[in-house]
Amino acid sequence: MMDKLAFIFPGQGSQSVGMLAEHIDTPVVQQTFAEASEVLGFDLLTLVTEGPAEALNRTENTQPALLTASVALWRLWQEESCNAMPAFMAGHSLGEYSALVCAGAMTFADAVRIVRQRGLFMQDAVPQGVGAMAAVLGLDDDKVLEACAEAAQGDVVEAVNFNSPGQVVIAGHAAAVERAIELAKTAGARRAMLLPVSVPSHCALMKPAAERLAVELQSVELKAPAVPVIHNVTADVSTEPEQIRSHLVAQLHSPVRWVETINRFVGSGVTGFAECGPGKVLAGLNKRIARRAPVATLESVAAFEELLAQNNDE
């Protein structure tokens, strides 16, 4: 079963105060949060379990919190499954760092430090209120691209997350995003609405952040992943450390090609997925991309134990 399973790791938007509540008292989860707290210099577990939400939702806190939650679940899976390894891994945006840690390409401590910096660089790159993101629902990708091209008018507005058929996220200058929303509605979008975020991720406005991230990543030792990881920017696998480093830099200002990623999994023989992290965001997207491939959301003890039982039956 494991040779047909892919582990997928969520990105920003999956966090919430109280996440991982069903697993939070497990020793390996506690230890993972303790390791992250030591790197960060503050108590990450208290922030995740008690909030406040405003602090958890600051991107420089959200990113290490989600990374830590995902790695903690992976470590618990490894402990309970006798180190059973899936066929593939991938992560959505920030989740790509979780995938690389769990695949052995990057140490957990390095990843915690880097994603904290990544969040700070992203926030610094675009002042509050200057950028925006919006979700466009029920419109073909090419129509979304056309709306962005027409709305730009010298500003930046781009399609940045191809999340599922009929669900594309756009990002850029706030005024241009607003124009693109109206054009998308005119073109027949079922809905087009602003997202409650402070950073316009994955668009050209993030290039200054990417330049700073590139410098930080030079201090990180990368290895070939033990499990193939499909990258957001290429929807393909990389094994060379320098290529992985380059992909992580480009990822900050490039689209997340999630539909292509999931289709690549299915084309490679994957028949099931495990969402290794908080929430069910990726499970919801997968239902629109690969409907016949079930997704186990490991934040749920029941789903975790069911997948474990399936693995043990093999």
Give the residue numbers marked as catalytic.
93, 202
Rounded Cα gap, residues 259 and 302, in angstroms: 27
Task: For the chain, state the CA radius of gyration.
Answer: 19
Q: How many other CB atoms are found less than 10 A from the CB of residue 237?
A: 17
Say whether 224 sits in a helix, a strand or coil: coil
Rounded Cα gap, residues 162 and 217, in angstroms: 26
Rounded Cα gap, residues 40 and 113, in angstroms: 7
One-letter amino acid at 153 equals Q
Q: Could you tell me the two tokens for 313?
A: 């039956």
Residue in 237, 241, 224 with CA at minimum distance from that of residue 270: 237
238 backbone dihedrals φ, ψ, rounded to 5°: -130, 140
> Are 254 and 273 in contact, with CB atoms under 8 Å apart?
no
Torsion, Cα 253 258 264 266, to 10 degrees, reads 170
Q: Could you tell me the two tokens for 160?
A: 């940045």
The owner of tokens 């990105």 is 11
